[in-house]
Structure 1
Amino acid sequence: MITHHTTGLTGPAPSVTVSVKPLVLSAPQRGEDLHVRVTAPTTGTNLPVVLFAHGFGSNLDGYAPLIDHWAAGGFVVVQATHLDSKRLDLPADDPRRPRMWRYRVQDMRCILDELPTLEAAVPGLSGRMDRSRVVAAGHSFGGQTAGILVGLRVTDPQTGAVEDLSDARVMASIQLATAGKGDDELTPFAHEHLPWLRDQDFSHVTAPGLVVAGDKDDLPLTTRGADWTTDPYTLSHGDKSLLTVLGGEHFLGGISGYQVAETTDEDPGRVALVQQVTLAYLRHVTGVDHTDWRQAEAVLTDNHPLGHLVSK
């Protein structure tokens, strides 16, 4: 076990990892092939899988601080470049734009369908992936994507329909700095530009989940303030945990990349906290090991300087 003195938490000794990209999956319904990156440890068997959805505008190369840490901790991590990525630069009038949120969920389903293909495409990975243990994770817009896979219901802004788009192959979720319920708590900007946030129903989410929220995440999307991002915890059911990152803004110290300009609250301690708690949760919820999670629950009480952890 490795001890991280800034957080007081421990974790497994990191493994060597390999990352392969782009693995290209045919996805005719989205109008672009789906480009995927797989990062995995070079050793170990029965490796659980994390499907990670990036935030608005990012791509399959983002979030290295999390992806590297999870893979080094024993997980196969799969990332895609979704249609909202700046790399694809869809025109403002592209007819797919209002359905971005839905295409993301389809991307994840495509990946789930093609996990055997992806496993075979990564040198040395064949036969080592446990496709029965899949956790969906995501940051910001990606947190909604992960949430939908475990039962979050979104009112389609074009049709007004509310559908269950969950996928039984996903056993749990991690939602980082993710939107809360819509309604009258959205700003006019969010109502206009992110209509898929207008009506979110968390009441059908019963799968286990970890929600990570920064207590200084004052998004321009809501009139409510930072605790809006705790809604995925407070409004859902089942076994849920909430990590509150003290002083954390939307990028939680810098999880979206090493030294990226968009990080407004750069703090290696904050990033280490998110890395360690999310990995401990992944190991716990997939049944790999419960020790680090129990330790996190014991250490991250109200008097910890970086954050606190509660469960229900």
Structure 2
Amino acid sequence: MNFTTLPGLLVLVIVVNSLAVRAIAAPAEGYDPLQVAKTLKPHTLDLVVKDVDRNREIPLRVYLPTAASPAPVVLFSHGLGGSRENNPYLGEHWSGRGYVVVVMQHIGSDISVWKDVPMAQRLTSLKQAANLQNTLLRLRDVPAVIDQLERWNKSSDSPLAGRLDLRRIGMSGHSFGAITTQGVSGQRTARGDATFTDKRIKAAIAMSPDSPKNGDLSKLFGGVQIPWLLMTGTNDVAMVGTADVASRTAVFPALPPGGKYEIVLDGGEHDAFGDRDLPGSNNKRNPNHHRVILALSTAFWDAYLREDAQAKAWLDGSGPSTVLEKQDRWQKK
């Protein structure tokens, strides 16, 4: 999704700490980012953040890991027309790996945009919701959610009390959620500032990222100071907006070196990152795409939120080749 009204939004970048483990050619011995307990049953909580200052509610679905000790937190922002119920395959796997996963729902660009609208009018309704106002609402939802997580973590009567390691926060999202992710994790505006960057976010994953049609991308993305993993596909074109594969893959070259990654899934469509086929899809989802998404994203979180040396070695070495298909394109810098 691309918004010509937002010429300044940037994409997330990954910065490698000076003490980070250097790249290793061989895969990390014994490290498997796809491994989770077979009997795992994720525990979920549906909560609501009330942002009094904006008179706005932000519904959440929280996936909790089994261990009760403080765990790193991963936020997820859905695409246009989505909800907190989206992408459970991510929430279940990441929580199974020991992360508290918080899926946000952005009122105004969520399921309410189309759910009760006649079929013939739904596409128009979605297009109307893809606007600057909703972008700004989303960008402000993220810090509001983090603020509330901090309060809940300290509150003895909260189910999240003491469960969150808020020194280790990851941000992620798909499509409109990728734009949201980019804006809060380092992307600069056309004026050169980072108005919406939240420094509490330590790493980010943008699924179906986007770059402005105009402007110097190196200036927009060159100041990203945290690790970024970009995910797209060779057929990643949405029904709404003007974003195409070229605008999605233009982000990675504009990022500064150090902790930056990109995967381009061969044949991957826009819905490759979701759980259900979108209208207009050819309904031929490659089952290996989710496997790649889960493996790379988990290794990325482990490497940059947990500072796991084995995960970093897997990610920077030959680990990705164990899950990628021949025509998938993987690069790092």
TM-score by length of 2: 0.73
Alpha-carbon shift at residue 98 of structure 1 (Å)? 3.2
Alpha-carbon shift at residue 292 of structure 1 (Å)? 4.0
The 3-state SS of whatever aligns with 1:272 is: helix
Letter of the structure 1 residue corresponding to residue 270 of structure 2: H
Residue in structure 2 matched with residue 206 of structure 1 by the alignment: 225
Find out whether 1:43 has 2:67 as its counterpart: yes
Find out whether 1:77 has 2:101 as its counterpart: yes
Find out whether 1:153 has 2:171 as its counterpart: no
Q: Any conservation in 2 of the 1:215–1:227 contact (CA below 8 Å)?
A: no
Shift in CA distance, 107/288, structure 1 to aligned 2, threshold 3 Å: same
Alpha-carbon shift at residue 122 of structure 1 (Å)? 6.0
Letter of the structure 1 residue corresponding to residue 133 of structure 2: R
TM-score by length of 1: 0.78
Matching of residues 60-209 of structure 1 within 5 Å? 60-82=84-106, 83-87=108-112, 98-119=132-153, 123=159, 125-155=160-190, 164-183=195-214, 201-209=220-228
Q: What are the Cα deviations for residues 136-155 of structure 1, in whole angstroms up to 9, with x where unaligned?
A: 11111111111111211245
- Aligned length, in residue pairs: 283
Alpha-carbon shift at residue 17 of structure 1 (Å)? 2.3
Alpha-carbon shift at residue 16 of structure 1 (Å)? 4.0
2 CA distance for matches of 1:280 and 1:57? 29
Alpha-carbon shift at residue 308 of structure 1 (Å)? 3.8
The 3-state SS of whatever aligns with 1:48 is: strand
Q: What are the Cα deviations for residues 201-256 of structure 1, in whole angstroms up to 9, with x where unaligned?
A: 22221211111111222446448x5232123322122421112212111122xx32
Determine which of 10, 18, 27 is the counterpart of 2:43: 18
1 CA distance for matches of 2:132 and 2:245? 26
1 CA distance for matches of 2:193 and 2:311? 38
Shift in CA distance, 222/38, structure 1 to aligned 2, threshold 3 Å: same
Alpha-carbon shift at residue 126 of structure 1 (Å)? 2.6
- % identity of equivalent residues: 22
Shift in CA distance, 53/204, structure 1 to aligned 2, threshold 3 Å: same
Shift in CA distance, 231/31, structure 1 to aligned 2, threshold 3 Å: farther
Q: Any conservation in 1 of the 2:90–2:294 contact (CA below 8 Å)?
A: yes
The 3-state SS of whatever aligns with 1:175 is: strand
Q: Any conservation in 1 of the 2:109–2:130 contact (CA below 8 Å)?
A: no
The 3-state SS of whatever aligns with 1:247 is: strand
Residue in structure 1 matched with residue 289 of structure 2 by the alignment: 270
1 CA distance for matches of 2:313 and 2:84? 32
Alpha-carbon shift at residue 43 of structure 1 (Å)? 1.3
The 3-state SS of whatever aligns with 1:113 is: helix
Q: Any conservation in 1 of the 2:271–2:277 contact (CA below 8 Å)?
A: no
Shift in CA distance, 111/146, structure 1 to aligned 2, threshold 3 Å: same
Letter of the structure 1 residue corresponding to residue 286 of structure 2: D
Residue in structure 2 matched with residue 229 of structure 1 by the alignment: 248
| Higher RCO (C-alpha under 8 Å, 6+ residues apart) | 2
Q: Which sections of structure 1, spanning at least 5 residues, go unmatched?
A: 1-7, 185-197
The 3-state SS of whatever aligns with 2:112 is: coil
Q: Which sections of structure 2, spanning at least 5 residues, go unmatched?
A: 1-30, 118-124
1 CA distance for matches of 2:197 and 2:263? 24
Residue in structure 1 matched with residue 267 of structure 2 by the alignment: 247
2 CA distance for matches of 1:266 and 1:162? 39
Moved more, 99-108 or 263-272: 263-272
Q: Any conservation in 2 of the 1:206–1:236 contact (CA below 8 Å)?
A: no
